Structure 1
Amino acid sequence: MPHSTEHNAAPRIGLLNLMPNKEETEQQWFELIAPGALQVNLQLLKLTSYTPKNTPTDYLERYYFPATFSTLESLDGLIITGAPLGQKNLADIHYLAELKSVIELLAQRNTPVFYSCWAANVALHLQYGIEITRMPRKLSGVFEHHSAAGNLMLPHSRYGQLNLLALRSHIELKIELDSAQAGPTLITQRNGTYYLLGHPEYSADTLWKEYLRDQNNGLNPVLPVNVEADFSNAAQLTEFTREWRQFGIQIMNNWLSGISS
């Protein structure tokens, strides 16, 4: 069941959930939002042109609101999750037009957005024309990252890779977190919008679950980096998870603080 926190002065934050497993994704994001210093009024949103196959209709009708113009106008900020669409051409995604309308409306209103993974790639492409290259193999695993605040391990799970030269050519975009293996991972914009290509919301076993899902779908996936098939490195992975979860809580709190200031 979805969770939310209420407060008279709490910012109204939307979660536009594009992932197939709605409840699991909701819980992962709530675990990044809830421990922060700020309370929020969290509203679950869905696209009207997309009907998920893995979530019961009555659940969606009970907990989700359509991402209409009036709903989006009422928000102080919006989180848009990733989606397992990295192998598809953008032209083949039937809800892309609606998603583009959402992105354009929020940009016009200067509403801060927290884009995750696939949504971050798409938003940077639509807003800045930055080319997305589809890698032949999925980037999956836990990789070392570098920032001004120090190093950390963070999971990735995607096919898309942004053109680095094009990304660096836009002075209004700042690369806050980078990785030699995974590339630019956290990009921020002056209006408070974040583009995060890693997954601090993931649980310790999420990459493995995705590997099994891809295997069942006949995609011949490679094993995630730094995630042993037999979980023989469970202790190390637990430590990594604690690290990336704390990073996720901090980065989410930073984003929300910018909205509330």
Structure 2
Amino acid sequence: MPIKLPSDLPAYDVLTHEGVMVMAEEQAARQDIRPLRIGLLNLMPKKIDTETQFARLIGATPLQIELTLIRMTEHETRNTAPAHMEAFYRPFQDVKNEFFDGLIITGAPIEHLPFQEVTYWDELVEIMDWTQTHVHSTFGVCWGGMAMIHHFHGVQKHMLEAKAFGCFRHQNLTPASPYLRGFSDEFVIPVSRWTEIRQDEVDAAGLTTLLGSEDVGPCLIEDAAHKALYIFNHFEYDSDTLKGEYDRDVAAGTQINVPMNYYPGDDPARPPQNRWRSHAHLLYGNWVNQMYQTTPFDITQIAHGTSR
């Protein structure tokens, strides 16, 4: 089954060209089935790139997905055309009375700021609390995951001396987890951040670490009590996303290392290789499947904590 997207959303044409099954809203309306409702709270500046990356992953399962693009209510983006935001995004205050099977909260390039100094922090706190009564499963990604683990457990983010930048080897720490079905024992994941979450603080919070790295620390955390997963690295990245970040910093004269273990021979003149795509599809496919197996058919029952 395909992912349901507006036919004029840029991701529709991109994913159709890639062979991902997509369905226009008018087609989906003719199917007698309840799709999984997944919201994407997109905090990234390049919103079109980000929405395409996540739509690609959650649209690769056999289930019909209805993707709702959500933005912060008052925050104005400076990197995406207002017409695009007006056409495809709904402010949180307009969806807060609705229910979702899943919600993805993306990262944001504001790692250097204390959480309470982020201009939309108060509304984000409202959203995180809202997930406990209106969302069956929430996936916090990079800064979004750090914000959630801080809000619910007081776990701090810590500044790194140098940016963790490149493709780092990770270990499968909990092979029996339903979110890790099909995972290898070791694999690489793109990393791009100036902050870290520390394993001892995760352990002290009583949370389960599913994926981790000896080089860049915990990666994927399960928070069963809050119906959430937190991932601090970027399975969703395209093959050339790290290259785009590196080229941008080089052009701006910013001090930046060549992303580790990314270019063949660590040579930026050579095309980067994608060695994480299959595990990206496994993780998000497992998340969607687990959601489908446990979410109530009557979506309003999420408010009562009901599962199948």
Q: Same fold (TM over 0.5)?
A: yes
Among 33, 39, 46, the alignment partner of 1:21 is: 46
Aligned length: 255
Equivalent residue, structure 2, for 1:114:
139
Give the counterpart letter for 2:139 in structure 1: F
CA RMSD of aligned residues (A): 2.0
Shift in Å, 1:189: 2.2
Q: Using the TM superposition, give the Cα deviation of residue 151 of structure 1 relative to its aligned residue in structure 2, in angstroms.
A: 0.7
Task: Specify the SS of the correspondent of 2:140.
Answer: strand
Answering whether residue 57 of structure 2 is matched by residue 32 of structure 1, we say yes
Rounded Cα–Cα distance in structure 2 between residues aligned with 1:226 and 1:103: 35
| Equivalence for 2:229 | 194
> Residue type matched to 1:136 in 2?
E
Label 1:225 to 1:127 Cα distance change in 2 as closer, same or farther (>3 A).
same
Tell me the secondary structure at the aligned position of residue 76 of structure 2: coil
Specify the SS of the correspondent of 1:142: strand
Q: 8 Å contact 2:138–2:229 — kept in the other structure?
A: yes
Measured in 2, the distance between the counterparts of 1:218 and 1:100 equals: 36
Q: Residue in 1 aligned with 2:214?
A: 180
Q: Deviations over 1:42-100 (max 9, x none)?
A: 01111012111011111100011111264463211101111111122223210111111
- Report sequence identity in percent: 30
1:1-261 to structure 2, matched below 5 A, reads: 1-3=10-12, 5=23, 6=28, 8-68=33-93, 70-71=95-96, 73-109=98-134, 111-147=136-172, 148=175, 149=183, 150-171=185-206, 173-190=207-224, 192-216=227-251, 219-228=254-263, 230-231=267-268, 234=271, 237-238=272-273, 241=274, 243-261=275-293
Distance 1:60 1:69 in 2: 14
Q: Report if the CA contact (8 A) 1:48-1:66 is conserved.
A: yes
User: Which consecutive residues of structure 1, in runs of 5 or more, have no partner in the other structure?
Assistant: none
Q: Distance in 2 between matches of 1:189 and 1:72?
A: 24
Q: Whole-Å Cα distance in 2 between the matches of residues 189 and 131 of structure 1?
A: 16
Amino acid at match of 2:222: T
Q: 1:90 to 1:215 in 2, by over 3 A?
A: farther
* Contact persistence 2:102–2:138 (CA under 8 A): yes
Deviates more, 1:79-88 or 1:211-220: 211-220
CA gap of 1:214–1:67, structure 2 versus 1, over 3 A, is: farther
Aligned partner of residue 76 in structure 1, secondary structure: strand
Query: In structure 2, the residue corresponding to 1:28 is in which secondary structure?
Result: helix
Distance 2:62 2:241 in 1: 26
Residues 17 and 25 in structure 1, CA contact (< 8 A), matched pair in contact too:
yes
- Listed as ranges, the gaps of 5+ residues in structure 2 are 1-9, 13-21, 176-182, 294-308
Which letter maps to 2:93? T
* Contact 2:220–2:232 (CA under 8 A) maintained in structure 1: yes
Q: If you compute each CA radius of gyration, which structure gives the higher value, 1 or 2?
A: 2
Distance in 2 (alpha carbons) for counterparts of 1:215 and 1:64: 32
Higher relative contact order (CA 8 A, sep 6+): 1
1:72, 1:153 → 2: CA distance? 39
**Structure 2 counterpart of 1:67, one-letter code:** F
CA-CA distance at 1:255 after TM superposition: 1.2
Aligned equivalents of 1:169 and 1:217: distance in 2?
A: 41
CA distance in 1, matches of 2:72, 2:251: 27
